[in-house]
Structure 1
Amino acid sequence: MNSSSRAKDGRRFQVKDFLRADGVTVDSPDDRLTMEDTLLAGDFYHKELRDGLFLHLSDVREERAFTAVSTLKEELSCIFFLDGDVEVAIGDRTFAFHGSRQRIIEGAAIMNSAPETFRRSSGGDQHLRHLVVSASPEWLNLDGLTHLRDERRASTLLKDHLADHRWSLTPRLADLVRQLFAPTPLMPELRDLYLECRAVEIVVETISAVMRAERRTDGPQLLARHDAARLQRAKDIIAVNLMQPLSVDMVAREAGISASGLQRLFRLSEGMGVFAYVRQQRLERAFEALKAHEATIQQASIIAGYTNPANFTTAFKRHFGKTPRSIFCE
């Protein structure tokens, strides 16, 4: 059965509101804390969108330091912090989450394959904005994994109890997260469908990101320190000169490695060659320019390195799942 709760602007969450949930306890360094004291104030949303698929969203001001303890069921948690700092303990493992820095949002994927004690602590007096999409094993097996090409590999990853996977969000995934904080005005009967579609896509993107990272670090493909340093130099050179004509020879020379050696490092680390990586980075920069209305579609096409807008649209939609026009018009 679906359950939901929503805090409107200015809603204040008191100690007694937390304690209404089964098995939840609250502690605070303030010995004078009472049931009527406010812990959070602002917007809060929690809903089971479909059996086994949950959305938790908060945009609140923490007014006091506190620790809440509960029990976490078996689930995959896809976690994104935009503002604020929180420490979480699941079982005997501790996880720290921090708000985005320099507009870069970090994603975290944690799979607990058995029920565990959940302890959440924060220092209070901060703006907290975060999103969690969680999915039960039943939902993942029946619905979530069917969206992935490599279901067997994904199933193996989901058995990795309390592994902490982190990555920087692609522009597409960052856009999905922001859409859930500022959804398009819709008829009430369409809102849940809107949220569910984006939550499903976030789960799929999260598992895909974890799988890509796992493939890069499998077996003997871990890079030696000097190779990792050369690869990072090459990426920095590409980032600085992204809008300039680039060649593998030029990037390799500046990074202090042979062209063939550079191609090898990119294939091991990124799963693609240098030119494919450059195309991807240019597409992502074009996405950001369109999203911020800093470029027209024609200009974004040039940013991405395409002289033919039709070819740009095809490549853009293949990479992001949306057309340039739809991003520009949002």
Structure 2
Amino acid sequence: MILNITKIHDLFDQFTRMVEGHVQQSKWEQRLTIPSHIGKGSVTRTRIRPGMEIMMTDITFEQDMKLQIQESCQLFELSYCVSGEIHCEWNGKKSHTNSQTGNVTFLEDVQVYEEKKAGIRNQLLEIRLTPDELLHYAGDLTEKQQMEAWLRHYRGNIDRYPDTPAIQRCVSEMIHCTHQGTMKRLYMESKALEFIALFGESDGYGSVGGSMLLRRDDITKLQQTRELVQYHFEQPLSIRELAKRVGMNEFKLKKGFRELFGMTIFELVRQIRMEKALWYMEAARLNVGETAASVGYSNASNFTTAFRKHYGCNPSEYVKRINQLDLERNRQ
């Protein structure tokens, strides 16, 4: 299926027609509930103004969702993947997004292949706007030229940006917004602008985390470190090996990693293992011992302790809940 996007606001409308879902509408906001044969969940679009919108997706697809998206307009987008996996290909380039990662995109006149895996909860926040809307905030000609140069840096790419605690907090506040009507629109607009400002602050300039000066090259190396940690979560690499692979001294690696991502390398490994553990129990239907081994724990009791600390219950209790839900669904 090809979606031809000629205006920023086309994506939601065309996706709605494609899946033939039910839409609840208000003046500024539309909520699409997808049909059961497509999956379960919804997409909410908040139109801030012509040329600027916020989309929040929370869907678990029944089958892999594969789209060809023809971006026929200029699109500047900041997105944050809370959970899920997204694979994109365009102009011979590839991008793979995992949970808790953010991307900055500036595309025009390009076709993007996008694939989201079935059986995985895809929770995504996107701030979509035209470059002109972004340039509207420039105070004078000099600032406009600086912002234009900033945009050119990202033209034709889907790049990962530094993930900071402030950005994570902003995303969470947007997703869990409880305001309604006009107040919600004002709140979401202010948070979207805060998100853009936080992205600008973390984009390789100045101090990150308040105490260590990280250059763009440092941030690139720390992002590479995070990717290595994510890839080798079952058998984690040592700090020494990570530092050697990315070309950074161990002290700066450890301190910079914590300041940039808001957690230690060990905490990230544990977080990834816990997220994967849910998938193994829910989708693959592994028991507790099999799940522990699959996420890199040689001792099931250590896995149980980590799981309880992360989710507030034992993995065996979680498996029982899953089985009980299955029984209830089968009775319906």
TM-score (norm 1): 0.53
| Aligned-residue offset at 1:58 | 0.8
CA distance in 2, matches of 1:92, 1:228: 25
1:182 matched to which residue of 2? 176
C-alpha spacing 1:97/1:230, structure 2 compared with 1 (3 Å):
closer
One-letter identity of the residue aligned with 1:233: F
1:109 to 81, 95, 104: 104
Is 1:231 aligned to 2:241, yes or no? no
Describe the superposition over 1:39-95 as per-residue Cα deviations: whole angstroms up to 9, x where unpaired: 232131123212221211111111111312232221211111111111123444321
RMSD: 4.1
Q: Which residue of 1 aligns with 2:67?
A: 68
Matches within 5 A, 1:1-330: 15-17=18-20, 38-72=37-71, 73-100=73-100, 106-112=101-107, 114-143=108-137, 145-146=138-139, 151-160=144-153, 161-183=155-177, 185-212=178-205, 216-217=215-216, 229=247, 231-236=249-254, 238=255, 281=259
Write the letter of the residue equivalent to 1:77: E
User: How many residues align structurally?
Assistant: 210
Quick one: structure 1 residues 209 and 153, their matched pair in 2 at CA, closer, same or farther if it must change by over 3 Å? farther
Query: Residues 15 and 181 of structure 1: is their aligned pair in 2 closer, same or farther, counting only changes over 3 Å?
Result: same
CA distance in 1, matches of 2:150, 2:134: 12
Show structure 1 runs of 4+ deviating over 6 A.
1-6, 225-228
- Pick closer, same or farther for the CA change 1:116–1:187 going to 2, 3 Å: same
Q: CA deviation at 1:235?
A: 4.3
Structure 1 residues not aligned, in runs of 5+: 7-12, 21-35, 101-105, 239-269, 271-276, 286-330
Q: Distance in 2 between matches of 1:89 and 1:49?
A: 29
In structure 2, give the amino acid aligned to 1:167: Y
SS at match of 1:186: coil
Whichever of the two has the greater Rg, that structure is: 1
Contact 2:164/2:202 (<8 A) preserved: no
Q: How far off is 1:281 after superposition?
A: 4.7
Q: TM-score if structure 2 supplies the norm length?
A: 0.52
**Cα pair distance change 1:173/1:37, threshold 3 Å:** closer
Aligned twin of 1:103: none
Distance 1:15 1:50, change over 3 A: closer
Aligned partners of 2:135 and 2:147 also within 8 Å: no
Q: Distance in 2 between matches of 1:140 and 1:230?
A: 35
Secondary structure in 2 aligned to 1:124?
A: coil
| Structure 2 residues without counterparts, runs of 5 or longer | 1-6, 24-34, 207-213, 222-242, 264-332
Give the fraction of aligned pairs with identical amino acids, expressed as a percent: 11
Q: Distance in 1 between matches of 2:9 and 2:57?
A: 16
CA gap of 1:88–1:17, structure 2 versus 1, over 3 A, is farther
Distance 1:182 1:5 in 2: 23
1:248-275 Cα deviation digits (max 9, x unpaired): xxxxxxxxxxxxxxxxxxxxxx8xxxxx
SS of the residue corresponding to residue 183 of structure 2 reads helix
Query: SS of the counterpart of 1:48?
Result: strand
Shift of 1:126: 1.2
Tell me, what secondary structure is at the counterpart of 1:210?
Answer: coil
Distance 1:115 1:3, change over 3 A: closer
